[in-house]
Structure 1
Amino acid sequence: MTDSVTDKLQLREQRNSQKRNEKKALIADSALQALHELGFANTSLRDIAARAGLSLGMLHYYFEDKTALIAYCVKTYKSGFMASLEGALAGEQDRAAVVARLSGVLAFAIFNDGPTHRLWYDIRNQALFDPAFRETVNDIEQSLVQVMKNAWVLAGHSDSSFSPLVYSAVDGAFQYLVHQQALGVAKNQQAIAGELQWVLERIL
């Protein structure tokens, strides 16, 4: 096979892979809409297929089952969320700035993407009982721990003094505020940022 033919085949394969990934991303958007409205337990693949304008068979072409689809959705969103946290911390060397920037990004996430974070906590709980979610949940959680470790060091602490319990404390505050928004004890973004800043000042 000539180099020219090989190059064309590789290019075609790359295009097909890109199209497949784009389609999966569109399906994930439809899935998140359904999950926000119905919750994990009440959302079926048929619900998601209907929102995505696909047959159930076509949906199975892209995702083996509901677990695979949900894991993809959560992992995709959390990757973007972690990137925003890392971006907020980039270049910061002052504790006050780290606290302010981090509380701002977390508050934005709660105020604007609360339903997706509620889904994350739902899936994290499911992982206690369903092994199918454990690898995805563990990967995401370890990445979040690393982000918090970076914040810890930037705030002036030594790398060796960090404990994952620092992440756990911040996550507990974040989860509480996510749930408060969902339960109707809603605050504006600025108020949420203020509460998170109060917590982070005591943890970091």
Structure 2
Amino acid sequence: MPSHSTSSPTKAEAKRAFLIEQATLCLAQHGYAHVSLRDIAKASGVSLGILHYYFSSKEDLLLAVISGYKDSFIQELENALAAEPLEGWLDRLLEVLHGSLTEKKDIHRLWYDLQVQAMYVPAFREQVNLLRTRIHELIARLLERLVHQETHLLRIDLDEAVTIIYAQVDGLFFQAMLEEAPTAANALTRFKPTISQLLNLIFTIPKERGES
């Protein structure tokens, strides 16, 4: 007798995914502070009791929303920065950032909302640190690939370089999120020279090899 496929979601999993999707829309539009579980239940067409069955609190639901989005975002970064050939990685990165500053802007700003809440809610702090660590590791792998090509030599410690790059790019990205959507293209034009300058600061590029 053929066995049932384990890849098909159960009804409970499908329901949970639907509620996360509806919560994402509500939170992205109004922000964490201005949305209650009752609002999300109403938008989802379910009772508050049903929503509580799947999520113990609004904090629990926000963690599910952000975790899902950031998993997707980090996977896009992974695809951009780990792709072969390495040449063109910056343009691929800018394409991912452009998507987050335009069609995904409302959802991505929840990431910053979560980081603010993490100052007060320990559960959020743990999730924020986990996600930031994943991005740091991705940047480290990119820098190691540049070094492995022997076209770049690090001037400073790898961990320091990762911290500098993350802080600078995240700061620029946050500033772009605060601006109006039409400025996304302008923001990206600032990203490329800034990242290039950062690379010049943290790398020595051997003259005989030239730039990558």
Q: TM-score, normalised by structure 2?
A: 0.80
Whether the aligned pair in 2 keeps the contact of 1:92 and 1:154 (CA below 8 Å) is no
Deviation at 1:33, TM superposition (A): 1.3
1:175 aligns with 2:174: yes
Tell me, what secondary structure is at the counterpart of 2:119?
A: coil
Shift of 1:20: 2.4
**Structure 1 equivalent of residue 189 of structure 2:** 194
Q: Please give the secondary structure, in 1, of the residue aligned with 2:14.
A: helix
Q: Give yes or no for contact 1:88–1:102 (8 Å, CA) kept in 2.
A: yes
> Higher relative contact order at CA 8 Å, sep ≥6: structure 1 or structure 2?
1
Percent identity of equivalent pairs: 31
Q: Distance in 1 between matches of 2:78 and 2:196?
A: 18
Which residue matches 2:10? 18
> Structure 1: 5+ residue runs without aligned partners?
none
> Which residue matches 2:158?
161
1:151 equivalenced with 2:142 (yes/no)? yes
Q: Which amino acid aligns with 1:86?
A: E
Distance 2:11 2:85 in 1: 38
Q: Is the 8 A contact 1:88 1:101 kept in 2?
A: yes
Amino acid at match of 2:42: A
Structure 1 residue ranges (4+ consecutive) displaced by more than 4 angstroms after TM superposition: 14-17, 157-160
Listed one character per residue, the Cα deviations across residues 180-202 of structure 1 (whole Å, up to 9, x for unaligned) are 136xxx3254x443222122212
CA contact (8 A) 2:41 2:48 kept: yes
Deviation at 1:203, TM superposition (A): 2.1
Alpha-carbon distance in 2 for matches of 1:93, 1:129: 40
**AA aligned opposite 1:23:** K
Within 5 A, what are the aligned runs for 1:125-136?
Answer: 125-136=116-127
Q: How does 1:1-204 map to 2 (within 5 A)?
A: 18-89=10-81, 90-94=83-87, 97-156=88-147, 157=152, 161-163=158-160, 164-181=163-180, 186-189=182-185, 191-204=186-199
Structure 2 CA distance for partners of 1:114 and 1:130, relative to 1, 3 Å = same
Structure 2 CA distance, aligned partners of 1:188 and 1:168? 19
Gaps of 5+ in 2: 200-212
